Amino acid sequence: MRNRQDKQEANRQQAEQLKGNTPTLILAVLQAGSLHGYAIARQIEQRSSGAFALGEGSLYPALRALERDGMVVSQWEIQATGPARKVYALTEAGRAELAERTHDFRRFTASMELLLRGMPDAQPI
């Protein structure tokens, strides 16, 4: 029983940590090149060593929002076998947004690291 509760708590904490960071994860993965939705999700999972797993319920709404905001573009890719699939790619605005988010995140984590270490005189990056 305790193990199940621990797992549920870990899943809840992961969901909280991902809130607001899903677009950053997507942009980071697309930096390497165009991918379809399923491949984006697998890359996020693989590149985070399994720490982050996005389901359809969070991935596709985030992709639609990124597309609406001009951060990604999509096009249908026709396959030799199987159905067509939508492939997403970063725009220049998406690259700029990723750079800004990366900078902000690094500044945040550096500040948190200082706080956790208890170094009041140190300055964040």
Give the max Cα distance, the chain. Answer: 62
Residue 117 scores a pLDDT above 90: no
Cα angle 19-25-29, degrees, rounded to a multiple of 5: 165
**Which residue has 């797992």 as its token pair?**
7
Q: Which domains does the chain have, with CATH numbers?
A: 2-90 (1.10.10.10)
CA distance 93 to 25: 16
Q: What is the chain's mean pLDDT, rounded? A: 87
Task: Tell which residue, 24, 113, 102, 23, has the closest CA to residue 63.
Answer: 23
Structure tokens that stand for 8 in this block: 């549920």
Q: Between 105 and 15, where is the model more confident?
A: 105
Q: Does the pLDDT of residue 121 top 90, yes or no?
A: no
Confidence grade of residue 112 (pLDDT, cut at 50, 70, 90): confident
pTM over 0.85: no
